[in-house]
Amino acid sequence: MPDLHVSVIVAVHDGASFLPSCLGALTAAGRPDTEIIVVDDASHDDSAAVAARYGVRVIRLEHNVGAAGARNRGARAAAGDVLVFIDADVEVARDTVERLVSVLDRRPDVAAVFGSYDAAPRAPGLVSQFRNLLHHFVHQQGDAEASTFWTGCGAIRRAVFEASQGFDEGRHARSIEDIELGYRVRAAGQRIVLDPTIQATHLKRWTLWSVLWTDAMLRALPWARLVLERRPPTDLNIRLNQRVSVALTLSALIRTRRS
């Protein structure tokens, strides 16, 4: 790994079941001087206790603030030149963090970089397999010059993060906060790169209802507002096929609620 000081930030809310896989992989993959910070966003389970077993720094929030606020809290506490964000339900490969940071080390013109889920999602079942593989496919087909950021498996220069004032804790406190940050970074003239060869495994289990609810309420509607407000470049998040998918998801959600 290059000589950049790296801080890995994992925000978690009721994710104790995923943390052993997430933190086990991170601690095995990082250098001894890699800082790992887990921000427990007022979990009801024993997420904080599980995280503490891995010798990482644990920040316990008394009140739930959402993903944006939890990640901002971790960033403020971090000492790294590069902030690596990994979701609590993601298991990195041994080279995932190193490769993210290496892009920023080799390419000083790049402000942020993110990778992709791999093609081997852990959760069984048709819905979980389809959902996680769909996300993999979208990132594999995405433009290398991205207009968004992704905290599932992404890294950003600390100076750029701070200049952008971090994640929006207002309208986007609990959804698409990483996408909205990416739009602002791009609007400031900075470059964001998608490298689909940098991969990690998604561990999340999905139900049909959670897919419909997430796509409609936590993705489609906030994205629609953001696109109308910012009119960003067309990339992996707002291509025609994605807009059609959003419309179908909303339709299915409405039918489900009526039945």
Q: Is residue 230 included in any domain, yes or no?
A: no
Task: Look at residue 178 in the predicted model and tell me its pLDDT.
Answer: 94
Q: Is residue 104 included in any domain, yes or no?
A: yes
For the packed helices 66-77 and 177-187, what is the interaxial angle rounded to 10 degrees?
Answer: 60
Q: Is residue 12 included in any domain, yes or no?
A: yes
Q: Is residue 196 included in any domain, yes or no?
A: yes
- List the domain range (segments joined by +) for residue 192: 6-204
Average pLDDT, the chain: 85
Q: pLDDT tier at 3 (50, 70, 90 boundaries)?
A: confident
Task: Look at residue 208 in the predicted model and tell me its pLDDT.
Answer: 78
Q: Are strands 110-117 and 57-60 parallel, antiparallel or unpaired?
A: unpaired
Question: Does 213 have pLDDT greater than 80?
Answer: no
Q: Token digits for 48? A: 């904080």
Q: Is residue 31 included in any domain, yes or no?
A: yes
Q: Is residue 17 included in any domain, yes or no?
A: yes
Burial 86-119 (b: 16+ CB within 10 A, else e): bbbbbbbbeebbbbbbbbbbeeeebbbbbbbbbe
Q: How far apart are CA 225 and CA 132, in angstroms?
A: 25
238 Cβ partners below 8 Å, 6+ apart? 223, 227, 232
Question: Does 12 have pLDDT greater than 80?
Answer: yes
Q: Is residue 136 included in any domain, yes or no?
A: yes
Predicted TM-score of the model (pTM) = 0.84
Question: Does 246 have pLDDT greater than 90?
Answer: no
For the segment 105-109, the average pLDDT, to the nearest whole number, is 96
For 178-205, what is each residue's pLDDT tens digit? 999 999 999 999 999 999 999 999 998 8
Question: Does 247 have pLDDT greater than 80?
Answer: no
For 125-183, what is each residue's pLDDT tens digit? 888 787 878 877 888 888 899 989 999 999 999 999 999 999 999 888 778 899 999 99
Residue 84: closest CA among 132, 144, 25, 20? 25
| CATH classification of the domain holding 105 | 3.90.550.10
In total, how many domains does the chain have?
A: 1
For the packed helices 221-230 and 177-187, what is the interaxial angle rounded to 10 degrees?
Answer: 10
Q: Is residue 105 included in any domain, yes or no?
A: yes
Q: How far apart are CA 30 and CA 97, in angstroms?
A: 7
pLDDT over 90, % of the chain: 63
